[in-house]
Amino acid sequence: MVYDWFNRQSEAAPTPPPADDSASAQEPQQDAAASADDDPLEWARQAYARLKAQKEQANATPAAPQSDSPAEPETKPEPEPEREPEQEPAPADPEPTPVAGLSLLEQAAAQRQERQQQLEQEPQVAQEPVAEQPVPAASVEVDREQDEPSLGAFDDTFTWSAEVLAAQGREAEQVTLEEIDWLGRLRQGLEKTRQGFVSGLLENLGDDPLTPEVLDDLESLLLRADAGVKATDQVLDALRKRMNEQVVDPSEGIRFLKEQLRDLLEAPIKSSGVDLLAPQRGQLNVWLMVGVNGVGKTTTLGKLANLAVRSGYSAMIAAADTFRAAAVQQVQVWGDRSDVPVVANPSDNADPAAVVFDAIGAARSKGTDLVLVDTAGRLQTKHNLMEELNKIRRVVDRLAPDATVESLLVLDASQGQNGLKQAMAFARAAGLTGVVITKLDGTARGGVALAVASEAGLPIRFIGAGEGIRDLRPFNSFEFVEALLASR
Ligand SMILES: Nc1nc2c(ncn2[C@@H]2O[C@H](COP(=O)(O)OP(=O)(O)OP(=O)(O)O)[C@@H](O)[C@H]2O)c(=O)[nH]1
Ligand SMILES: [Mg+2]
C-alpha cells in the first residue's frame, strides 16, 4: 500500500484485513466501533489494537519472521494506557479581576510594538547566519534513523496523536502508523516552543473566566514565541472582543484561541486555492528551494525527494548550487539515500541555470513527476544571488511553460522573525509560492509560523522538525496548533 504523503491518503484500500491466525487481530472488530466523540480513549485503544494486529501480520508473513520489536506480549490486545488523556489543563489559581474597559486599540498596538522591541533587545542568542559552514557529504549520517516507523507503546503520545486524528474525522481503522509517528515527532519538535508558551499560559488560567491580565500574559507569550506584532494583535483583538461579548471560561478561551491561530495560519492557504501542495500527476512539477545560507534548503530537498519516492512519485534532483564544491556532493548523498537521480555539472563554476536546463531535459525524456532544484544560499553579492535565481526561474519558465512551478522559501525557525524579514527581502525576486519552516525542533520560536502567515502572507507548505530523512511533513494547521498547545 502506498501512502501518498503529500495528499495524506492511502492509494489503496485503507487497511488490509487482519490475519486470522492471530487472536488479537480480531479484537478490534469484536468491539463496536467506538465513537471518538464519546470515548476518545477507547477509540485510541482500538486504533492501537488495529495497528498492532497489522504489525503482527506483517511480521508473520515473511518466511523468516524478524523480531524487530522488544519482547511484547502477543496475547494482550488491550494495551494499558499509562494515563488518562486530559482534555484540559490542570487549573492553576489566578485571582479573577472583573473585565475593565479596554484601552485604545492603537495604544495597545503601540505598546505591543514597544514590547516586541524590548524582547528583541533582551539578551538572546543572536541567530545571524554565520560564515558559511561547508557541509561535507560525509557528515550526513545516513543510518541515523529508521526508514520505517515503528509502533511504540500505548502511551500519552499515542493517545494524543490518535485524538488529533479523530478530531479531524478520521476513523479508527483509517489510522496509519505513518501519521501516528509523525504527530509524535511534531509534538516532540514543538516541545521547546510549547514549554514557554503553554506552561506560561495554561498555568495562568484557572477555573475562572479570562481576565485582561491573562490576555496580557498571552500577548507576551506570543511575542516571545516570535508570532510577530501583527498576528499577536489580531489574536488579542479577537479575544478581547469575545470577552466583551460574554464571559469566557478557560476551556472556551483555549478553544477560541486555537480557532484564531488556525484561522491565521489557514488564511494564505485558503487564498492560494490549494489545501495541500502535492506534485500534479501526469505532468512535470518543478520545485525550487530558495533561502539564505544554512537554513536547510538541501536537507529539505533531500527529505522531499524521499517523501516523493515513498508516495509513489518519480523524482529528480537538480544540483544548482554550484557555488560551493561540497554542495553537489551533499545533494548526491541525499539522492542516493532515496535512489533519486541527481543532475549535476562537475566543472568548476558551472552555470546553475545550465544544470536546471539539463535536469528539465532529462526529466522530460524520462517522464519524471517532480524535479527538485537546490539553489545557493550565498554568492559573492546579494545582487548576484538574485540574478542567479531570476535566471534559473527564466530557464524553467522557458523550457517548461506547462510545468507546475513552486518556489519554496526555506526558513529556519530558530532565526525567528529576523530570519523572516531577511528572507523576504532576499527572495522577493524569486516569485515565492510557499514556505517551508525548518528546525522547529530545538527552538522556542515556533510561533514564527504565525508571523509567516500574517506578515509574509505565504502559505506554509511543509515543516521540518529534525535532521532525519523522515522529519518533514506537509503542514497542517490543525495539527500544528494542537501540538503547540498540547497540555501534556
Ligand atoms: N535540527 C534540525 N536541523 C536541520 C533541519 N533542517 C536542516 N537542518 C540542519 O541545518 C544544517 C544546514 O542545512 P542545509 O540543508 O545544508 O542548509 P542549506 O540551506 O542548504 O545551506 P547552504 O547550501 O549553505 O545555503 C545542516 O546541519 C542540517 O542538518 C531541521 O529541521 N532540524
Ligand atoms: Mg544547500
**What SS3 string covers the chain?**
CCEECCCCEECCCCCCCCCCCCHHHHHHHHCCCCCCCCCHHHHHHHHHHHHHHHHHHHHHCCCCCCCCCCCCCCCCCCCCCCCCCCCCCCCCCCCCCCCCCCCCHHHHHHHHHHHHHHHHHCCCCCCCCCCCCCCCHHHCCCCCCCCCCCCCCCCHHHHHHHHHHHHCCCCHHHCCHHHHHHHHHHHHHCHHHHHHHHHHHHHHCCCCCCCHHHHHHHHHHHHHCCCCHHHHHHHHHHHHHHHHHCCCCHHHHHHHHHHHHHHHHHHHHHHHCCCCCCCCCCCCEEEEEECCCCCCHHHHHHHHHHHHHHCCCCEEEEECCCCCHHHHHHHHHHHHHHCCCEECCCCCCCCHHHHHHHHHHHHHHHCCCEEEEECCCCCCCHHHHHHHHHHHHHHHHHHCCCCEEEEEEEEEHHHHHHHHHHHHHHHHHHCCCEEEEECCCCCCCCCHHHHHHHHHCCCEEEEECCCCCCCEEECCHHHHHHHHCCCC
pLDDT value of residue 151: 87
Q: Which atom of ligand 1 is nearest to the CA of 299?
A: 15
pLDDT tens column, 152-178: 889 989 999 999 999 998 888 888 888
Delineate the domains of the chain, giving CATH numbers in brackets: 1-56+153-189 (no CATH), 285-476 (3.40.50.300)
Mutate to test the pocket of ligand 1, among 130, 135, 470 (most ligand atoms within 8 A of CB): 135
Amino acid at 328: V
Whether the CB of 464 sits within 6 Å of ligand 1: yes
Q: Which atom of ligand 1 is nearest to the CA of 465?
A: 31
Give the mean pLDDT of 227-243.
93
pLDDT tens column, 103-113: 344 555 566 56
Q: Which atom of ligand 1 is nearest to the CA of 139?
A: 27
Give the mean pLDDT of 250-279.
94
pLDDT value of residue 423: 77
CA 382 to ligand 2 center in whole angstroms: 16
Q: Which of 15-24, 51-60, 217-226, 296-305 is the least confident region? A: 15-24
pLDDT tens column, 335-350: 999 999 999 997 777 8
Residue 207 has pLDDT above 50, yes or no: yes
Highest mean pLDDT pick, 16-30, 114-128, 210-224, 227-241: 227-241
* Higher local confidence (pLDDT), 284 or 127: 284
Q: Which cell numbers hold the place of 102? A: 479596554
* Nearest of 23, 100, 106, 33 to residue 57 by alpha carbon: 23
Give the mean pLDDT of 65-83.
39
Q: Which atom of ligand 1 is nearest to the CA of 302?
A: 15
Mutate to test the pocket of ligand 1, among 332, 411, 467, 471 (most ligand atoms within 8 A of CB): 467
Q: Which ligand is nearest to the CA of 302?
A: 1
Q: Could you list which residues have their CB under 5 Å from ion ligand 2? A: 297-298
Give the mean pLDDT of 123-129.
37
How far apart, in Å, are the Cα atoms of 68 and each of 71, 91, 212, 378?
A: 9, 42, 54, 44
Give the mean pLDDT of 266-287.
95
Cα 9 from Cα 275, distance rounded (Å): 14
* Higher local confidence (pLDDT), 247 or 461: 461
* Higher local confidence (pLDDT), 400 or 78: 400
Q: Which ligand is nearest to the CA of 300?
A: 1
Give the mean pLDDT of 454-483.
93
